Amino acid sequence: MPDAAITAATQPSQPFSRELAEEPLQVPPQVPQWMDTHCHLQLLDDEAAAVATAAQDGVGLLLCVGIDAKTTEAALVAAHTFPGVWASSGLHPHSASDLAHEWELLSALAADPLVVAIGETGFDFYRDHSPPGVQEEAFRQQIAFAKTQDKTLIIHSRDAWADTFRVLADAGPPERFVFHCFSGGPDEARRAVEMGACLSFAGPLTYPKNETLREAARTAPHDRIVVETDAPFLPPQGFRGKTCFPAYTAKTGSVLADVLGLSRAETAALTTANACRVFRLPELSGVGDGGTV
Ligand SMILES: [Zn+2]
């Protein structure tokens, strides 16, 4: 039964790409199962300790996300230092006003083969650190760039569903994209999935009050679900108010397993296979040799 469930779960309902779906990723048994698809390792005090602790807890794959040129550079250093770590190049909506003078370096850094994604980008109307029009300009630029670079887009959308969907529909979403720290309900989950998105669930999935978010996770096709921590932010239940670490991916993953009615091992295998597909990660056999490609 578990085998049948996982086989069914990993059949893409609407593949991101035929090419990828035709080559199902084999996860070698020696590779830790969980992947933290969105963390800011470079913002933690001790990156090496965070990576080591994560590996001990079965989180051997990490995507270190840039929020501006400086943190993208630091993400790349981490990716070239630690096995199993990849990077993204992006400008967070909070810093969208810096687009003009950050772009040259951000786009140059994106050429590194360990940069597998563009973003995080999108809208944040909760904090409104940059004007909405400026956030939209930066979002559109990164959507276009993800397409030309054939890299996965990481979307940040907070209190901004209507605008996020409007811009994505108008610009045309890239082939592969992820709603990081998905925070919508079942309706937003359905809409995002229809557009071709993958949904990434973070610590808030574990908060007792967030039944609507768990309902959204139940709504999503199994091949569209990944997990993340957004470390050092958004710790799961039991660690709220404290620093979040990539190791906690397993804690959110454990709640996700209960939500999906799968075992922890099945959920880890499923979400890691999804993550490798959506981020087009190099052969996992390369993991452990320094993460270089
Ligand atoms: Zn983030």
Ligand 1: distance of its center to the CA of 38 in Å? Answer: 6
Phi, psi of 79, deg, nearest 5? -65, -35
Q: Which CATH superfamily is domain 32-282 in?
A: Metal-dependent hydrolases (3.20.20.140)
Strands (E), 125-176: 152-158
pLDDT tens, residue order, the chain (293 aa): 344 444 444 444 443 343 444 444 444 454 448 999 999 999 999 999 999 999 999 999 999 999 999 999 999 999 999 999 999 999 999 999 999 999 999 999 999 999 999 999 999 999 888 899 999 999 999 999 999 999 999 999 999 999 999 999 999 999 999 999 999 999 999 999 999 999 999 999 999 999 999 999 999 999 999 999 999 999 999 999 999 999 999 999 999 999 999 999 999 999 999 999 999 996 453 443 333 33
Q: Using the mean position of ligand 1's atoms as its centre, give its distance from the Cα of residue 147 in Å.
A: 21
pLDDT of 290: 36
Q: State in Å: Cα 1 to ligand 1 middle.
A: 36
Distance 22 CA to ligand 1 centre (A): 31
**Residue 2 C-alpha to ligand 1 middle, in angstroms?**
33
CA of 271 to the centre of ligand 1 (A): 18
SS3 of residue 166 by DSSP: helix
Q: List the structure tokens of 148.
A: 């030309």
Return the pLDDT at 127: 86
Q: What is the pTM of this model?
A: 0.86
Whole-number Å distance, alpha carbon 3 to ligand 1 midpoint, is 33
**45 CB-contact burial (10 Å; exposed 0-12 / middle 13-18 / buried 19+):** exposed
- What pLDDT is stored for residue 32 in this prediction? 47
Query: Residue 123 Cα, ligand 1 centroid: separation in angstroms?
Result: 12
CA of 65 to the centre of ligand 1 (A): 7
Of how many residues is the chain composed? 293
Contact between 96 and 123 under an 8 Å Cβ cutoff? The reply is: no
20 Cα to the center of ligand 1, angstroms: 26
Give me ligand 1 centre to Cα 74, in Å. Answer: 14
Q: What is the pLDDT of residue 282?
A: 65
- Contact in structure between 206 and 237 (CB atoms under 8 Å): yes
Q: How far is the CA of 120 from the centre of ligand 1 (A)?
A: 7
For residue 40, the CA-to-ligand 1 centroid distance in Å is: 7
